[in-house]
Structure 1
Amino acid sequence: METLTYRFENGSRSLPAGPQVVGVVGSGNLEVLIESAPLAGACEIQITTAAVGFGAIWEAVMRDFHQRWPLADARIAINDVGATPAVVSLRLDQAVETMLGTTP
């Protein structure tokens, strides 16, 4: 198992306030949890994955996600057991859309 952590500063899109947590599990190999958190405008993403050695790919997928969804004060946890980058992007989008009730 490998744990990767990414932090993106100066987000411009806030999540609803309060202790809401949204989880999206649409495939048997990925879980995304998203919640509002006081992070001084940042978005923190922690990934726990069984696919060791793919940090550069994860970073590219997370940067792409942050460009689509520049979240502020958001904490995201991803539990992965070998999902493809396309599935990861889809599940992240679904979690944010559920939380915001919107599309990018």
Structure 2
Amino acid sequence: MERFEITLPAQPAGAARQSALTGVVSSGNLEVLIEAGQNPAECAIEVNTSAHGFRDIWEAVLSDFAERHPAGGLRIAINDAGATPAVVSLRLSQAFEDSTGEAV
């Protein structure tokens, strides 16, 4: 397992926040848990992944998410079992929509 945390600048969201869980930890998939965070100008993300050596790709996908969505004030936990970047992006968007009620 590889584990790391990243904090990204993000626009604060105006929508009500609630916890959200999407996906499952299984081969080629991942689960994403979103909760309210501390800083409305940042998105804090913890990644636990079975795939070693892909941090640069993770950071690119997560940065893209934080740029596309007003994710400020969120804390995100990701438990990955080898998902592709497209699946990661999809699950993040689904969890964001569930958490904020904002369509993506």
Instruction: String of CA shifts for 1:24-64, please: whole Å, max 9, x gaps.
Output: 01673300000112225211011000000001100110011
Displacement of 1:13 in angstroms is 1.8
Would you say the 8 A contact 1:14–1:72 is kept in 2? no
Query: Counterpart of 2:73?
Result: 73
Distance 1:79 1:14, change over 3 A: farther
Would you say the 8 A contact 1:46–1:77 is kept in 2? yes
Would you say the 8 A contact 2:30–2:79 is kept in 1? yes
Q: Distance in 2 between matches of 1:15 and 1:4?
A: 28
Query: 2:38 is paired with a residue of what secondary structure?
Result: coil
Structure 2 counterparts to residues 1-104 of structure 1, below 5 A: 1-14=1-14, 16-17=16-17, 20-25=18-23, 28=26, 29-104=29-104
Q: Distance in 2 between matches of 1:37 and 1:66?
A: 14
Identity %: 45
Q: 5+ residue gaps in structure 1?
A: none
Displacement of 1:70 in angstroms is 3.0
The alignment's TM-score, normalised by the length of structure 2, stands at: 0.87
Query: Where in structure 1 do 4 or more consecutive aligned residues deviate above 6 Å?
Result: none
Q: Distance in 2 between matches of 1:10 and 1:33?
A: 18
Distance 1:64 1:71, change over 3 A: same
Matched residue type, 1:73: G
Structure 1 or 2: more strand by fraction: 1
Matched residue type, 1:25: G
